Amino acid sequence: MKKRTLLGIFAHPDDESFGPGGTLARYAAEGIELHICTLTDGAAGTAHADCWDCLNGFADLADRRLYELRCAVKVLGGTLHYVGYRDSGMEGNESNLHPDALINQPLEIVAARLTHLIRKLRPDVILTHDETGGYFHPDHIHTHRATLMAFRAAGDPTRYPDQLTEGVEPFSPARLYCTVIPRSRIRTYVWLGRLTGQDPTRYGRNKDVDLTRIGRPTDQIHVRVNVQPYVEVKREASACHGSQGGGGRTDDRTRLSLGKRLNRWLRRRAGNRDMFQQLYPPPTDRSVRTDLFEGIPIE
């Protein structure tokens, strides 16, 4: 009997942990074969202020972030497939212009690499970013588009026929999901930000995320996965990403403003459920499931 397999395809080191880390940890713990594909090196931007010495012993930030990624994937219980395109940065960042940046790679080429991986691993379920990239990050959007293209191509023997050698055959995964954030949750963050004097249109460490633009309506959420028993595993995996503030010293509550403390409290409350939209096959009803594998027959 074939072992059930889950493949997560993400843009950057830390997307797997800061995003659906609880879900990935849960399924790995339940015996699902977990694979995590990361497309970029995460080199755009700077290290978090709390990680003042985190580049010691590393060639550069990309080298450090690969080290962190390997740590996180091990904690989650998965196998890493690292592609290593250059991080493109947020829209308007000078990194957008780098020839090796992910967004400057033709979708057909990225999709071909992902198609080969899908055919090789034969996952039942694939997770990736939604079409907005969650918060309109260009790499997330490019990753979504390439994954969708690869998902459709993997089962078609006329697409990338040169790959069909050495036991690699066409394969169609049963489900494709994207990670989503409920709009209702984002509205709470927006309200909280305004209440505490913060500008919700300039959110995040680099003030380059507009909270008022993100979030999905409730009717686009098809699966809510209970990850409460795996929250600590997610935190441990997130802590691997020290250069991005995943481990930091924010546990010292005396150093946090009221707004940041309330923000942490909200994130912890929301962290017990991961939300997903089902892209394929299109849902036939409005019921909300609690398992990404529900209804998929075991071979």
pTM score of the predicted model: 0.91
Give the CATH number for residue 26.
3.40.50.10320
d(CA 83, CA 286): 36
Question: Which residues lie below 8 Å from residue 6, measured CB to CB, with a gap of 6+?
Answer: 24, 27, 32, 33, 34, 35, 123, 124, 125, 126, 127, 292
Of 4-18, 35-49, 60-74, 266-280, where does mean pLDDT reach its minimum?
266-280
| Residue at 175 is within a domain | yes
Q: Is 285 part of a structural domain of the chain? A: no
Please report whether residue 216 resides in a domain: yes
For the record, the structure tokens of 160 come out as: 């990338």
CA distances from 93 to 106, 206, 216 (A): 19, 11, 26
292 assigned to some structural domain:
no
Is the pLDDT at 165 greater than 60? The verdict is: yes
Q: Is the dihedral of CA 57, 37, 17, 27 positive or negative?
A: negative
pLDDT for res 282: 92
Specify if 294 maps to a domain: no
- Contacts of residue 259, Cβ cutoff 8 Å, sequence gap at least 6: 192, 193, 195, 196, 197, 198
Contacts of residue 187, defined as CB under 8 A and 6 or more positions apart, other chains included, come to: 215
* Residue 293 domain flag: no
Identify whether 210 is part of a domain. Answer: yes
Position 2 scores a pLDDT of 76
pLDDT for 3-13, tens place per residue? 899 999 999 99
Contact (CB, 8 A) for 205 and 246: no
Domain count of the fold of the chain: 1
Average pLDDT along the chain: 89
> Which range marks the domain in which residue 154 is found?
5-280
Question: 277 — phi, psi (to 5°)?
Answer: -105, 135
- φ, ψ dihedrals at 275, nearest 5°: -115, 140
Residue with tokens 């889950």, as numbered in its chain: 6
Show the CA angle centred on residue 135, arms to residues 133 and 137, nearest 5°: 60
Beta-carbon count within 10 A of 53 CB: 8
Domain contains 209: yes
Q: What is the pLDDT of residue 252?
A: 46
* pLDDT tens track for 246-293: 865 444 444 545 445 545 555 555 578 999 999 999 998 888 999 999
pLDDT, one tens digit per residue, over 202-261 is 776 677 777 778 888 888 999 999 999 999 999 999 999 999 988 654 444 445 454 455
- Average pLDDT (43-54) is 83
